[in-house]
Amino acid sequence: MISQTSIDQVFDTARVEEVIGDFVQLKKSGTNYKGLSPFSDERSPSFMVSPVKQIWKDFSTGKGGTAVSFLMEHEHFTYPEAIKYLAKKYNIEIEETVQSDEQKERASERESLYLVSEFANEHFQRVLHKTDQGKSIGLSYFKERGFTEETIKKFDLGYCLNEWQDFTDQALKKGYKLEYLQKTGLTIVKGDKRFDRFKGRVMFPIKSMSGRVLGYGGRILIADKKAAKYVNSPESDIYHKSNVLYGIYHAKQAIAKEDNCYLVEGYTDVIQFHQTGITNVVSSSGTALTSEQIRLINRLTNNITVLFDGDAAGMRASLRGINLILEQGMNVRVCTFPEGEDPDSFAKQNTLEELSEYLSNNAKDFIQFKASILFEESKNDPIKKADTVRDIVNSISKIPDPIKKEIYVQECARILDISEEVLFKTLAQIGNKNVQEDPKKGGGQKKAFQVIKPEQKAQKVNVQYLLERKIIEILLLYGNKKEDFEDLILKENHKGELVLEPVIQEAKVFEKVFLDLQDDEMEFSNANFKAIYFTVIDALNQNPDFELKTFINSIDYDMGNEISNILMEDERYSLDDWERMEITTKGKNDTVSQLVSQTILCLRHHLIVKKVDALNEETRNSVNIQHRGILEEVMSYKKLDTLMSRKLGRVVG
């Protein structure tokens, strides 16, 4: 168990914008930050982080909460794992009791897979640096590649002994179950026999964006025609190769800072670039690029520069990945290296300044790149040239942004010396063909480039829901604040008329809200809001030093998520929306006392209107004697409503 002192220190130190900024590219938006949702496939930012409130909200999925809840959602951490991650990030030493074997056994299967992978990472590093075979074979190989000790340790590079089951035996001795060794793919089980999958290979641990070891890539060092040069971990509950990019953990901050990601093919390409000084680089680990991998990059930047070897055949095959990148609405550039060179060898032979200059001078727009490669193959062949044009236009058709699409058509016309009209017609044909092949994408009969205005369905506004939510927000943000409130007391004047007489009283916001709701016997209609209301009132009553951040961190996950929804909702809708729905609240520049009074008045007004409507309905179903009494009650409520409306500044018809 982690001590409460350590937990409090983590919560006091961690900044939600810094934690989330490691996973999502955040851009300043007023007092908040915005970014693309890491939980859904979107192109318009709907993910918001509030440094002031120290919470986040994802409007595309409804998720929200604190820095800890983000890690639990995004990285699938348990609560203790999230605390430990933050402690490591902020160099906080945490106090905890050592886990017993029984506690380890009770851990979830997913966590067991992580523990096995982490043990393997430590084991392979120990073998590399501490054994004769590891040093003479594995370490020598890395040194020959030009990697320094610092680089080898940075990427946790290791070595698996060239023995059938050394790793498996060591893991079993440490108490790790064979079941999990097999599920991670580290051990192959055939009947009664057990084999180390990565026997005699140098090891490249593949990490998640938060730094957890998911799987491995292993390269064999001996000449063996029967063995594959590289072997990757098989798919497991924690490792899905189509969702992972090698190097993303080390590159994420540089990618966001540079607003560009270099995409290479191999492990050593990534490592050599880092060692040279360019750290915003990742690899698809030798697998075909996937949409999931591209979306992972898209959380950090909208710009990708694909780096290809000088090998023409490899470049031709890799061109397919460009269309996938374009489909995600990203900007893509391409850079190739001289023939016989790859990113690894080129970075090794050049200084940081030389490498940076080469990348800057040789990175081409994807159209220029495709044109140069494909036109070289179609010299003096009109049919092949026409196919090349269609290939490039097909790539342009993948771009979702119509403005970008048109600009690229103009650029294509200039480079290829073909009229824009012809290219637009070809683009329209491709668009129509795609619609016919997949009616879901285009609706069957829609024309290419046709703009369809979505039908706006009128939404029924739940005024009471909005006002109850506003009251919770007021309590959370200002509950402990002392204010001078202008209370309105109903009195009868000398003419026998009901009037509202103002009286100034000092009180804490939560006391004012609680007493007003209690006096009018107003109850929350929303069960979630009701539960939060009493929890917040109790916390404010018990703790004179109530702090929002501490309170959110102390309550359960579901309530914390609901509170984040409430606090971040104002960032989504402007005050104009409230006024359009006839909910008159004060703006953020007005005093807190005005905000409280106006909101309570609005709720009173709304409940009076509901009561009048209910009484009017009752008159339609009553006998004459009852009818008169109900009408008198209606008139009393209407007088009260008139007074409320005047105070709210409304014209009453």
Q: Residue 120 carries which side chain, given as an amino acid letter?
A: A
Q: What is the pLDDT of residue 198?
A: 96
Digit-coded pLDDT (tens) for 562-572? 888 888 776 65
> Which strands form 27-29's sheet, in the order they lie side by side?
27-29, 32-35, 47-50, 55-58, 63-65
* Angstrom distance (rounded) from CA 343 to CA 337: 7
* Angstrom distance (rounded) from CA 32 to CA 308: 39
Q: What is the pLDDT of residue 204?
A: 97
* Angstrom distance (rounded) from CA 447 to CA 442: 8
Bigger pLDDT: 10 or 97?
A: 10
Q: What is the pLDDT of residue 145?
A: 94
Q: Which of 157-171, 210-224, 521-535 has the lowest mean pLDDT?
A: 521-535
Digit-coded pLDDT (tens) for 77-134? 878 888 889 998 898 888 866 656 665 555 578 888 999 999 999 999 999 999 999 9
Mean local confidence (pLDDT), 414-429: 84
Query: Average pLDDT over the chain, rounded to whole?
Result: 81
**pTM above threshold 0.75:** no
Q: How many CB atoms lie within 10 A of CB 420?
A: 14
* Angstrom distance (rounded) from CA 192 to CA 296: 41
- Say if residues 66 and 560 touch (Cβ distance below 8 Å): yes
Digit-coded pLDDT (tens) for 12-37? 888 999 999 988 889 888 888 999 88
Kindly give, in sequence order, each residue whose CB lies less than 8 Å from that of residue 329, ignoring residues fewer than 6 positions away.
43, 298, 302, 399, 400, 401
- Say if residues 397 and 430 touch (Cβ distance below 8 Å): yes
* Angstrom distance (rounded) from CA 374 to CA 385: 8
Digit-coded pLDDT (tens) for 303-320? 999 998 766 555 665 667
Of 562, 573, 337, the residue nearest 459 (C-alpha): 573
Q: Are strands 27-29 and 32-35 parallel, antiparallel or unpaired?
A: antiparallel
Q: What is the pLDDT of residue 202?
A: 97
Q: What is the pLDDT of residue 446?
A: 38
Q: Which of 8-17, 222-231, 481-490 has the lowest mean pLDDT?
A: 481-490
Q: Which domains does the chain have, with CATH numbers?
A: 4-89 (3.90.580.10), 107-239 (3.90.980.10), 368-442 (no CATH), 463-648 (no CATH)
